[in-house]
Structure 1
Amino acid sequence: MSGETNLNKLLASMSPSCDNQMYGFATMDKASFNALSVVPKCLFVEDEGFTVIATIDELVDNNIECMGPFACITLTVHSSLEAVGLTAAFATALGDADISANVVAAYYHDHIFVDWSDKQAAMSVLERLALAHQ
């Protein structure tokens, strides 16, 4: 199932949604990850170790040191992995508002992790960006 590739349609219909969970970013080796009782929001295997994104509560419960808290904003439009310009457009808008964005492009949706204290401002920026393309 392929998603949308038209940039204007993507921007107009991105419909950002925040799940109001606090997330943390942690890093660990494979053995440490295998011992966890965490269901990560995201797992990325890097040369230096595993990057785990999970709720702060799960990481703290497992005594895992992490960076955060972050809010996860999901763009609910089904964007194609071949779409060009969506990440650049929202990252530029967030950057212009001095909001750092850590982006995960998953199969169906883009997920933007922002500092917890910036979540409302980030939602406003993304909603304004969508309105500007309707």
Structure 2
Amino acid sequence: MAGIKDLGTLLSSIDPVLDERSFVFCTFPEFHWDDVHQLNPIGFFHEKEGLTLIITQQEAINKNINYESVYKLISLNVHSSLDAVGLTAAFSTKLAEKNISANVVAAYYHDHIFVPEEKAEQALAAISEFRLQSHPVRLK
């Protein structure tokens, strides 16, 4: 099933869901894939400086892994195409207007946004505004 490319359709269909877990980004200059698997990361990216993992805060605490900030995950439950143009710009602009940082991961089916834990509810409300704007209330 192909993802949606039309920005208007994506924004009007956006259904953001806040994950209850707290996440951290951590980095490992040297790593072994067996160790990575044991950390059960929700995401990872191999950079020239090392491996960045996204794991739960609890996992980091349990394994005594250093991290700087704590994030909440908002998943956009709309099947966006990897070729869609403007979706990331739209929600990152909306969050920037509210002074909320956004660390975005685009996966095959959905976009996922990591926002500072203390601003998660505000970010969820901001992203939800897209649906409200596309479905205006009509007074009789």
Scaled by the length of structure 1, what TM-score is found?
0.94
Letter in 2 for 1:12: S
Partner SS, residue 31 of structure 2: helix
> Cα distance, 1:60 vs. partner?
1.4
Runs of 5+ consecutive residues of structure 2 not aligned to the other structure: 136-140
**Hey, what's the Cα distance between the residues in 2 that align with 1:86 and 1:2?**
16
Report the CA distance between 1:32 and its aligned residue.
5.3
Count of residue correspondences: 134
Structure 1 counterpart of 2:124, one-letter code: M
Check conservation: 1:56, 1:68, Cα contact below 8 A: no
- The farther-off stretch of 36-45 and 101-110 is 36-45
Counterpart Cα distance in 1 of 2:98 and 2:33: 35
- Give 4+ residue runs of structure 1 displaced > 4 Å after superposition: none
Worse-matched range after superposition: 2-11 or 35-44: 35-44
Is 1:42 the equivalent of 2:67? Answer: no
SS at match of 2:69: strand
Aligned partners of 1:106 and 1:81: how far apart in 2?
8
Tell me if the contact between 2:14 and 2:130 (Cα under 8 Å) persists in the aligned partners. Answer: no
Q: How does 1:49-88 map to 2 (within 5 A)?
A: 49-88=50-89
Matches of 1:130 and 1:118, distance apart in 2:
20
Which residue matches 2:116?
A: 115
Identical amino acids, percent of aligned pairs: 42
Rg larger in structure: 2
Distance, in Å, in 1 between the alignment partners of 2:73 and 2:32 is: 24
Q: Which amino acid aligns with 2:10?
A: L
Normalization by structure 2: what TM-score? 0.91
Superposed displacement of residue 67, structure 1: 2.4
| Structure 1: runs of 5+ lacking an equivalent | none
